[in-house]
């Protein structure tokens, strides 16, 4: 899809809306003048207007001048906004994209003019640096729109088309996952400080090592345990530390946390 001729509106320029805009600008594939971002308090998004992005409070005006409408507001705000935009969104012109947790395609689609393509997307805040993991889904009749939206999110990281019933799981593993990995890196940094590094050096070593581990898996497709075997010398310090972490429940804590987050998300419905 030629993004040079596609106009994108982000309704709700908060954490994830802002991250998407930063990623799109960084990609160099979408001119700043093709992007509109809204929020009620536009004084909070002057960093984008300074870069040539259109910023405004008027969601209907943003919709009327755009092709792809990305809804990035809180779940409690979503339906009010969909209702307020209903008359401006036209099936011949627009694709509606929701990054909002907990509302499904049918719930959004039934509030709009019949036939408006709706795509659900679950990115994460690494979109800001072009490293989002974004899962997407749409109903079968909107596959063309799904591909168009995928081509936008391909510019800001990796994408995976999934079934709609997997969107909650994608939210936990991908979007919430940023927080889980951050906490691991923070803990590793604290350990690094205890064994002698200043905080900044400890964080650099922990974060770059996490990036290296990630790249090893993504580039080789290997199972993590295969890479662990290469690091764990028999009777060595790595296996001693790793086993101590496991005795204290490292893997179990992560799995239980992911499952608990998933159950909490499903209670939102
Ligand atoms: N944060 C993540 O990592 C992440 C990842 C994937 C998906 N999500 C989903 O994305 C959604 C937003 O999350 P978030 O963390 O970005 O929340 P957030 O930082 O609170 O952003 C929501 C934004 O919506 C704006 N807003 C509220 N009412 C509005 C209106 N009537 N018109 C225009 N803008 C309006 C708010 O700004 P004003 O108050 O100034 O209007 C705020 O900037 C949630 O549904 C969440 O499930 C989040």
191 and 108 belong to one structural domain: no
In a domain, 146, yes or no: yes
Single out the residue in 164, 194, 227 at which a domain terminates.
Answer: 164
The pLDDT of residue 246 is 98
**Which of 16, 54, 60, 107 to probe ligand 1 with, by most ligand atoms within 8 A of CB?**
16
Same domain, 160 and 188: no
In a shared domain, residues 62 and 128: yes
Q: How many domains does the chain have?
A: 2
pLDDT digits (tens, 9 = 90+) for 42-98: 999 999 999 999 999 999 999 999 999 999 999 999 999 999 999 999 999 999 999
Q: What is the mean pLDDT of residues 182-196?
A: 98
Residue 269 has pLDDT above 70, yes or no: no
pLDDT of 138-155, one tens digit each? 999 999 999 999 999 999
pLDDT at 216: 98
Q: What local confidence, expressed as pLDDT, does residue 4 receive?
A: 87
User: Looking at the structure, do residues 249 and 128 belong to the same domain, yes or no?
Assistant: no
Last residue of a domain, one of 108, 132, 164: 164
152 in a structural domain: yes
Ligand 1 atom nearest 176 alpha carbon:
3
In a 13 Å sphere around the CA of 219, the CA atoms on its Cβ side amount to 7
Residue closest to 13 by CA, chosen among 138, 80, 88, 99:
99
Residue 171 maps to a domain:
no
Residue range of the domain that includes 28: 3-164
Domain shared by 158 and 78, yes or no: yes
- Give residue-wise pLDDT tens across range 204-228: 999 999 999 999 999 999 999 999 9
Report the alpha-carbon angle 56-59-64, nearest 5: 100
List, in sequence order, every residue forming a beta bridge with 83; answer none if it has no partner.
none
- Quick one: 133 and 202 in the same domain? no
Report residue 258 as tokens: 């992911």
Do 207 and 157 lie in one domain? The reply is no
200 with 258, same domain: the answer is yes
37 is a domain residue: yes
pTM: 0.97
Query: Is the CB of residue 84 below 6 angstroms from any atom belonging to ligand 1?
Result: no
Give the Cβ contact number of residue 174 at 10 Å: 20
> In whole angstroms, what is the distance from residue 251 CA to residue 70 CA?
36
* Mean pLDDT (the chain, rounded): 97
Rounded distance from Cα 139 to ligand 1 centre (Å)? 24
172 in any annotated domain: no
Question: For 19-23, what is the mean pLDDT?
Answer: 98
| Residue 217: CATH number of its domain | 1.10.3730.10
Higher pLDDT, 2 or 40: 40
- What are the DSSP calls for 100-164, one per residue? -TT--HHHHHTTS-TT--EEEEE--GGGGGT-EEEEEEE-GGGHHHHHHHHHHHGGGEEEEE--G
- The verdict on the CB of residue 59 being under 6 Å from ligand 1 is yes
Tell whether 146 and 226 lie within a shared domain. no
């Amino acid at each position: 899809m030629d993004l040079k001729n596609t106009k994108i509106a982000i309704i709700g320029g908060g954490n994830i809306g802002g991250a998407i805009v930063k990623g799109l600008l960084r990609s160099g594939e979408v001119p700043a003048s093709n992007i509109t971002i809204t929020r009620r308090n536009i004084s909070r998004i002057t960093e984008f207007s300074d870069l040539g992005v259109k910023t405004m409070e008027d969601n209907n005006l943003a919709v009327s001048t755009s092709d792809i409408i990305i809804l990035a507001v809180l779940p409690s705000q979503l339906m009010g906004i969909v209702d307020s935009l209903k008359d401006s969104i036209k099936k011949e012109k627009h694709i509606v994209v929701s990054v909002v947790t907990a509302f499904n395609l049918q719930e959004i689609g039934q509030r709009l003019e019949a036939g408006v393509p709706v795509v659900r997307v679950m990115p994460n805040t690494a979109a800001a640096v072009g490293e989002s993991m974004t899962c997407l889904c749409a109903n079968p009749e909107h596959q063309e729109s799904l591909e168009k939206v995928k081509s936008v999110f391909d510019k800001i990281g990796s994408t995976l088309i999934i079934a709609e019933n997997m969107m909650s799981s994608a939210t936990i593993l991908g979007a919430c996952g940023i927080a889980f990995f951050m906490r691991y890196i923070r803990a590793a940094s604290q350990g690094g400080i205890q064994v002698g590094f200043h905080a900044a050096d400890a964080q650099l070593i922990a974060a770059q090592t996490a990036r290296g581990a990630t790249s090893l898996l993504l580039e080789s497709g290997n199972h993590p345990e295969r890479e662990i075997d290469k690091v764990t010398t028999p009777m060595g310090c790595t296996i001693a530390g790793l086993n101590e972490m496991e005795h204290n429940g490292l893997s179990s804590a992560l799995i239980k946390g992911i499952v608990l987050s998933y159950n909490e998300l499903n209670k939102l419905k």
